[in-house]
Every structure is written in C-alpha cells, then in structure tokens.
Chain A
Amino acid sequence: KNEVEQSPQNLTAQEGEFITINCSYSVGISALHWLQQHPGGGIVSLFMLSSGKKKHGRLIATINIQEKHSSLHITASHPRDSAVYICAVRKGYGQNFVFGPGTRLSVLP
C-alpha cells in the first residue's frame, strides 16, 4: 500500500463547479504539500500545510493531522485549472518528499 493515496485519480468537471481532491497518508509527517503540474510538465507548489487551513485565491487546502487527511478545494473552477494535482508529504524535517499518485483534473468550458 502506498504511503500517500489520492482520490479521485481522474476528475472531469464543468466550468464553475466546486472541486475537491483528497489526500490520505499513513505515516507521521512534518508537512504536507499540494503541487500542481501543468500539461507541459512544469510544477508549481500551491500550499505547504502542517495544520489547519490555507487559502489562496480560489484554492483552499485543509489538513486534519489526527485523521491523516488533507483536501484541496477549487471554487468556481476554470479550464485553466486543468492539471495534475499532486499531494506530497515529508516524514520529517529535512526528509525527502513522498509523492501521491496525482489527480488528473479536466475542467470543461
């Protein structure tokens, strides 16, 4: 079993829909990151979380440390949000990322 799981694997939405992507992990972590990989391959770091909730524009990320679960929400989705969203955790300070398998999101106009 992978240490970091994501659901769904693939998601297709209509423009304007509210989107939720889930990440669950089975190890202790020092931080959890949400990454966005564009169709061309470039990766952008969206959030780093160790507790609570963060918001940036239309994106909201939450984490529940006790339940070992994080969610990424996109409000008022847009076709330009189409990308692969990757959850990655660090098991300890200075340790390498452990990546989830990614969620492929397509937002249709």
Chain B
Amino acid sequence: AQTVTQSQPEMSVQEAETVTLSCTYDTSESDYYLFWYKQPPSRQMILVIRQEAYKQQNATENRFSVNFQKAAKSFSLKISDSQLGDAAMYFCASSGGGADGLTFGKGTHLIIQP
C-alpha cells in the first residue's frame, strides 16, 4: 500500500516569487513513479511533472522543478516566477506502476497574490 501526505493545506505567494509545495510518501514498491497534478477552478486535472524513482536527476518542466529525496521519501514541487495562472489545487501522487492506479495526497491550495 502507498500513502501520500501533503502537510500544507494552503500556501500563498506573491506573483513572480518562488514557492515550494511539500509532499512525503510511503511505499513498499522498489520501483515507483511520482507526479504532481494541478487542478484549477475548472476542475480539470493537469499533469505538471513526473519523476521516475530510479532516476537520480530531478525532473524539470520550464518553471516547475522537483526536489526528489528518495531516502527521505520526499518529493517537493518548486514553482519559480509564480504567475496568476498558477493559482490552483496541487496534488502529489504516487504509483507503483501497476494497474491499481495513482494514490493521491489531499492537496495544497496555492494562492497567488498580485
């Protein structure tokens, strides 16, 4: 079984600044995958970034990057140069790669202050 914990129910950041969202996970899988999904008010789930656990290099997608600490089972998301369009719920998720889908955290509500 896998568990995902997001300890920050809400975060607020000024536009153009950097913010880091925290996520810890627990899994018995030796090979697994980690994801950050964004859910804006439209409710649509959008993949932000994906990390394969066997890769030591942290994934990066434009202004979004992760800090993957495998031993600590930590997977934080850093958003640089925050924009108003980044305001959303952010969900951390893990997968053992099997057919039993994704395990999600409870989410962090990110507020961008203009």
A and B found bound together: no
Question: Which residue numbers of A lie inside 8 Å of B, CB to CB?
Answer: none
